[in-house]
Amino acid sequence: MKNKKVTNKEIVRKILAKAEYSLSINEVSSLTGLKKAQVRNTANYYGSEIVPVGRGKIDLLTRAYKGRGLRVTPTGQDIEAGIVHSDELSIYLWPFQIKEAIAISEEGEKFTLKKKFGVSDGQSLISGFSRWHQMINFQVGDDIIFRCCNLENQKFNIFRLPSRKRSEEEITCKNFQLGEMIYNFLKYTPNKFEHLYFLARKSLLRDLYLDEILPDELFRVLSKGKYLFVLEKKYGKASFLGVGIKKYFHSCKGEYHLVSILEDEILGKHGYCPECKSLMVWDKKRGWRSAREDEYFDLSLHKSFFKLK
């Protein structure tokens, strides 16, 4: 009987487990003899036990998650119902599919949270907060702070942060960092747009979520962003929240359309809307609009377009 071939993922997993901390792709390549591309391909954000954690490093998901936190601010309706609507919280608590219920604790008290459904007619719904809300007298405007203790056992701590104790200046700084991070993620995507679900997976594995002061929820931060916008697209009964870079989209009959940046010898770099089937004119103050025929030879984008957010 032939020996079963050991996969690249198994080789990398063993090296990471032995190291007991995150390693750079170069370090793993050197230790395993694998090519850097082979090492890089073992890590992803979606259901993998090996994940990218930023700055060219990878780690085991269960180890990378320890101490990682999330700030959530429930609505008044959520507090009354003992639930939280949040795709981001759902992703944070269930980064891969194990169990649909997890244990959280505060000062010896244990509570069970359950995920009702995934991305669908709104944001994911997590139930099980009622008894905890009552025990600590949770109020509208208060934050819930989660911290991961042990992802393998799906154990998390939960804390109440009263609204009066919010450090607004520090949180604003963290929100800015989160917005910049998301902008940089989107800058390298083909359509300058990504679903919130996937952006949350990427951002939650960055050092920002290991800090004592955490940013607000991703949706809350981005909906106030100057350079980014949150877009809701409906596919049948399902509703998906996405995030895009504003300057690459224009509004048309109540919908946002992507403006592709094309280049040719005559027009240079210029905008084109595939959905409108129209060449586009860029105005720094007003954004994009469809070009008239007499403007076709004056569409070249100034280099400032690519420098500005």
pLDDT tens-digit readout, 123-176: 688 999 999 999 999 999 999 999 999 988 888 999 999 999 999 999 999 999
Instruction: Report the pLDDT value the prediction gives residue 122, as an integer from 0 to 100.
Output: 55
> Interhelix angle for 8-19 vs 25-32, to 10°?
110
Report whether 273 contacts 258 (CB < 8 A). Answer: yes
Threshold 0.85, pTM exceeds: yes
Sign of the torsion formed by the C-alpha atoms of 7, 8, 12 and 15: positive
Instruction: Report the pLDDT value the prediction gives residue 167, as an integer from 0 to 100.
Output: 94
**Helix, strand, coil distribution of the chain in percent, nearest 5:** 30, 30, 35
Instruction: Report the pLDDT value the prediction gives residue 107, as an integer from 0 to 100.
Output: 72
Angstrom distance (rounded) from CA 144 to CA 156? 12
Instruction: Report the pLDDT value the prediction gives residue 100, as an integer from 0 to 100.
Output: 65
pLDDT over 80 (residue 236): no
Instruction: Report the pLDDT value the prediction gives residue 197, as an integer from 0 to 100.
Output: 82
* 10-38 pLDDT per residue, tens: 999 999 999 989 999 999 999 999 999 99
pLDDT over 90 (residue 235): no
Mapped onto helix, strand or coil, the DSSP state of residue 166 is: coil
Instruction: Report the pLDDT value the prediction gives residue 108, as an integer from 0 to 100.
Output: 73
